[in-house]
Amino acid sequence: MRFKPEERFLGRNCTACGICSSLCPVDAIVTDSSGRVVSFSSACIGCGHCGCYCPADCYGLPAEKHAAIPLGSHIQNLYEGRRSTRRFSEKQIDETVMSTLLEAVGFAPTGQNAQGITVDVILGEAAINKLIVRPFVKFVRILDCCRILSLFAGANRGAVKKIRRGDDIITWKAPCILLFRAPVGNVTGKTDSIIAATMVSIKADTMGLGTLWNGVVQIASPILRVKRCHAALCVGYPLLKKYQCVPAREWTRRDITPS
Ligand SMILES: Cc1cc2nc3c(=O)[nH]c(=O)nc-3n(C[C@H](O)[C@H](O)[C@H](O)COP(=O)(O)O)c2cc1C
Ligand code: SF4
Ligand code: SF4
């Protein structure tokens, strides 16, 4: 079931705290002059973040049941509680925590057991800005110099405007970026990298860290000051408490039998 905030929203509970609109990845939440949420634009991708993080339960979602120790039968709770993190605390990730997190990579399967995944670790605001954010913003500003990008951006015009003026909605001020890649020539290199990144992102949740899969950084990697990668994760300590879970995403099971 695709989450549609406009179908559930209980406006009378809204306290105008601003959390939901600060988290919306596509700037789809419309507020009135007092900050109360009034509607949602067609840019909405149905991620459910507004609902998960709303302290006033304005979106009618079931309560969060993320187990503290998500082992064994708790694994489904871990998956259900996994959310992209877009607000990070200022706490940095120390070396012990980073090494423990990345141990997962050494146990990730690779096609033909080719191994050899490389994880580039970019730590700290200064390095992330220099290598990723500033080159990306510069690229967007060039593309949008005559507002051409904005013209074709449709409902994402607001996001282009934010990037142009330098708001970090690319790496969301994460304290760490991880870039995964496999050696050129590995036949399943892309898949191998994504599996390794998935294992890291799930392990991160068990360590109290939050992650954000970052398609923008991954796709833009050839024009940034980093090496081309197959998967990019923002990592850091989440700033906000999650209150609710999203409903299950749309997917299909097909049982195939030979005719
Ligand atoms: C491959 C991939 C690329 C993504 N790229 C971005 C991105 O560039 N920026 C962003 O804010 N979110 C990005 N996301 C996060 C998705 O928007 C998010 O997973 C989706 O809205 C569902 O929310 P959830 O992760 O909290 O369940 C990406 C997710 C995936 C799987
Ligand atoms: S998070 Fe909830 S209470 Fe806060 S502005 Fe959004 S809808 Fe209103
Ligand atoms: S569901 Fe996601 S994209 Fe839609 S309004 Fe809420 S936070 Fe924004």
Pick the ligand that lies closest to the CA of residue 15. 2
> In angstroms, what is the span from residue 22 Cα to ligand 2's centroid?
10
Indicate whether residue 60 lines ligand 3 (CB < 6 A).
Answer: no
Answer yes or no: do 34 and 116 share one domain. Answer: no
Residues 31, 92, single domain; the answer is: no
What tokens does 10 get? 């209980």
**pLDDT at res. 71:** 60
**Domain interval for residue 109:** 85-236
Q: What is the pLDDT of residue 149?
A: 84
Residues 194 and 93 in one domain: yes
Residue 117 lies in a domain: yes
Cα dihedral 141/145/150/153 (nearest 10):
-60
Residue 84 has what pLDDT?
96
Do the domain assignments include residue 256?
no
Burial 26-38 (b: 16+ CB within 10 A, else e): bbbbeeeeeeebe
pLDDT at 72: 58
CATH of the domain at 22: 3.30.70.20
User: Are 104 and 29 in the same domain?
Assistant: no
- Distance from the alpha carbon of residue 158 to the mean position of ligand 3, in angstroms: 14
| Positions of the chain with pLDDT lower than 50, given as ranges | 70
Is the CB of residue 85 below 6 angstroms from any atom belonging to ligand 1?
A: no
Residues 102 and 30 reside in one and the same domain? no
Question: Which pLDDT belongs to residue 144?
Answer: 86
Does 153 map to a domain? yes
Pocket test for ligand 2, best of 20, 44, 87 (most atoms within 8 A of CB): 20
Say if residue 114 is in the same domain as residue 207.
yes
Q: Are residues 107 and 220 in the same domain?
A: yes
Are residues 119 and 32 located together in one domain of the fold?
Answer: no
Same-domain pairing of 178 and 109: yes
Number of domains the chain is built from? 2
Residues 136, 137, 139, 140: is their CA dihedral positive or negative? positive
pLDDT tens-digit map of 221-243: 999 999 999 999 999 999 999 99
Whether residue 72 lies inside any domain: the answer is no
Distance 216 CA to ligand 1 centre (A): 9
Mean residue pLDDT of the chain comes to 92
Residues 95 and 48 occupy one common structural domain: no
pLDDT at 128: 98
For residues 11 and 120, state if they share a domain: no
Residues 89 and 211 in one domain: yes
